[in-house]
Amino acid sequence: TMASLPKTMKGVWIEKTGGTEVLQYKEDIPVPEIKEGQVLVKNEFVGVNYIDTYFRSGVYPLPHTPYILGREGAGTIVALGSNVPDDLRLGARVVYMGQSAYAEYTPVDAKSAVAIPDSVDAKIAAAALLQALTAVTLIREAHPVQKGDWVLVTAAAGGVGLWLCQLLKAMGARTIAAASSPEKRELAKKNGAEVVVDYHEEDREKFTKEVIEITGGEGVAAVFDSVGKATFDSSLAAVRRKGSMVSFGNASGPVTGFALGRLSAKNVKLIRPTLFNYIYTRDELKQYAAEVWNFIEKDGLNVAIHDVYPLKDVVRATEDIQSRKTMGKLLLRP
């Protein structure tokens, strides 16, 4: 089956970390070979995630160089390695999380790929998977949200943020959505947020005060904070007694040097989760993915797609997500 594949492909790689100038769009990258337990996917859509910027800039270490960025894609299986589960067949439509997705072809560990149900578009699957799974695992495991809970979501009009707003609404929780512009706050509201607030970059105390007032003086049962450094203190201050501080991202920079004793002021639980550790086994991935498809099919949850750019516009895509211009999901098309 490999015989019908081209020798080279389009892709984006980096040789060192840095600004967007290190992103190299190339048309002559060798088509990768697959190992045991892998499938080769011809990507139809590739998801842009904020994490891609951490690998490019050096916030997270590169596994090797040159390195093809990109953690998520959807497409068709065009080659099979040995020892691959039966539901991953040649020609099957799959969506995956892994590495090196900013390319025409990606070798994917079978463990990280799931079949796309017939009723779901490849575009929707690529746009949904990583961010929706993040949101689902956060509300089920990082802080199991209860009906009626007040919950604070930062970057609420972003990819993960809009999923959190929709899922929390679907399960009967009450969401306070923080976002930086009126358009973003409106979108968060349309996606199920009960109250929307500005983060007031110059006056974070005002932001915390507003959140506490909305909750009748108590604070929220949980904060899902993806902004990191810039909002950590104001988010923690908005948590109620015995609530949870879920810090799951670094959009403004990583949180460092936290004094554990601060948690005792309100017996707050602090967690810093990654999606990867919630979907470590293929069974876990399949279970949570099924939950995502179910939310899309039965509860009518939707994926706000910001835009689809051709892969060669990777610099524009990166600049847009970093400069807070995107609302919902940005996709690339190889």
Only segment of 100-108, 152-160, 208-216, 288-296 that touches ligand NDP (CB under 6 A): 152-160
Using CB under 6 A, pick the residue from 11, 98, 107, 158 that binds ligand NDP: 158
Nearer to ligand NDP, 50 or 288 (CB): 50
Helix (H) or strand (E) holding 127: helix 122-137
If binding is defined by CB under 6 A, does position 321 make contact with ligand NDP? yes
The minimum distance between CB 27 and ligand NDP, in angstroms, equals 27
Taking the C-alpha atoms of residue 244 and residue 263, their distance in angstroms, rounded to an integer, is 10
Cα-based distances in Å from 161 to 167, 192, 214, 225, 244: 10, 11, 20, 9, 17
If binding is defined by CB under 6 A, does position 274 make contact with ligand NDP? yes
If binding is defined by CB under 6 A, does position 155 make contact with ligand NDP? yes
If binding is defined by CB under 6 A, does position 252 make contact with ligand NDP? yes
Joined tokens for residue 165: 């707003």
If binding is defined by CB under 6 A, does position 99 make contact with ligand NDP? no
Position 165: which residue type? C
Q: For residue 75, which phi and psi values (nearest 5 degrees)?
A: 180, -150
Residues with Cβ within 8 Å of residue 268, at least 6 apart in sequence: 236, 239, 242, 243, 244, 245
Using CB under 6 A, pick the residue from 23, 31, 46, 51 that binds ligand NDP: 51
Using CB under 6 A, pick the residue from 145, 227, 268, 292 that binds ligand NDP: 227
If binding is defined by CB under 6 A, does position 244 make contact with ligand NDP? no
If binding is defined by CB under 6 A, does position 220 make contact with ligand NDP? no
Nearer to ligand NDP, 135 or 296 (CB): 135
Asked if 306 contacts 37 with a C-beta cutoff of 8 angstroms, the reply is no
